[in-house]
Amino acid sequence: MASNAQRKYFGTDGIRGRVGEHPITPDFVLRLGMAAGSLLAERSAEPTVLIGKDTRVSGYIFEAALEAGFASAGVNVLMAGPMPTPAVAYLAKTLRLSAGVVISASHNPFEDNGIKFFDGHGEKLPDAMELEIEQRMEQPLRCAAPDRLGKARRLNDAGGRYIEFCKRAFPAQLSLQRLRLVVDCAHGAAYQVAPQVFHELGAEVIAMGDTPDGFNINQGVGATHPEALAAAVVEQGADCGLALDGDGDRLIMVGADGRIFSGDELLYAMVRQRVMAQGRQSLEGVVGTAMSNLALEKALERMGLDFRRAKVGDRYVLEMLKETGWRLGGESSGHLLNLDLHTTGDGIVSALQVLAAMVASGQRLEELLGDLQLFPQVMINVPLTPSLRDGWRDHSGLAAALQAAEAQLAGRGRVLIRASGTEPLLRVMVETACRDEASALAQQLAASLN
């Protein structure tokens, strides 16, 4: 398999950047569509792709560019319009398509955009296929013969199909009646479908972040800004609230008292519900990431479940789930995976699993998660100077400070030191039950690099 270093444009979640700056330009995206389309045309006699997008104003430009690129390569195109990323993955699979493409920069501001691909099974493309698309972009690209050009049409029932899929992920014997929910759609791709799902399952829904204008996606709302949801839940006297991000694959929830619950806590709720409904034998282990809270790991161990950590990124969580054959995993950021229900992370489907746990237990979210007390995590970002960029792993001062910190923690906590994948920073994180101790150790570790 190709590594990230071998790919110029594709990262862990597609291609992403600032609109108008390479590679997020109309001409690049046109060539991307032609290159990907030429590959699909070789593998299928009647290739068809689905294109969905979030609510960014730039989506119109890149939607048109992708459509032209695919059609010129001989690929038929279905246009879904604004649609959550997991909806595109589901529709690509259920409609037996060649691929699904999402135009979105997820939780980023509107000035950014991106392109991500799913194969016909609703799964993200393997590294090797992304690399092959990039290599084709470097070669001359030719238009298909006039009698082989692709056609484009609108998929008018995309939203309805996805709503029914989400509803099937909620236990048939349960109902959301008598629950008052605040649903924050982040002014993003789920603004039409998310409130409808919870309403049709019986909840009283108060929607927010559901009036996109092309520029306000993720702006002060959604999973990356849950404080707005917390205030709305308390003000409305709601039972709980849920926040999605701009493309609908991330989830953060809020209790009736305004407390914000992270992805680690929601994953724990999903695991408990799975064990309660299907028995301990139904679940061998759970996958988190290097950033998953130590308290989650210890809580799962008490339940008799194995816990493994993947690299940061839902892509790597998915890879480890496939390797182990396990079904549940996620990130503290709110990317949650339940492979019994979907091929990719889905904020709405994940919320329904947590709500099912609440309804089945008769407990509020705060009560349901009352026995999980997350450890404080203190992180310090240390600028990576040229001398440190390649040599921090061999830094003698850091090695000595790390050995001392781990000896002091003696299994009561952990230290994580990693280079940022997006900025010239070294992230130094200490996690233990005592915040003051975590803060002091993090500062000592950071100071050792001076």
Q: How far apart are CA 358 and CA 243, in angstroms?
A: 17
Strands (E) in 68-198, as ranges, are 76-82, 99-103, 112-119, 152-154, 180-184
Q: How far apart are CA 328 and CA 315, in angstroms?
A: 13
Q: Are 286 and 263 in contact (CB under 8 A)?
A: no
Residue with tokens 């000035």: 111
Report the run of H or E that residue 328 belongs to, with start and end: strand 328-330
How does DSSP assign 407-424, residue by residue? HHHTTSEEEEEEE-SSSS
362: phi > 0 → left, psi -120 to 50 → alpha, else beta; which? left
Question: Residues 187, 193, 198, 201: what is their CA dihedral angle, to the nearest 10 degrees?
Answer: 170
The yes-or-no answer on residue 106 being catalytic is yes
Q: Which of 72, 98, 106, 262 is catalytic?
A: 106
311-328 as b/e: b if 16+ CB within 10 A: ebbbbbbbbbbeeeebbb
Q: Are 99 and 117 in contact (CB under 8 A)?
A: yes
Catalytically annotated residues: 106
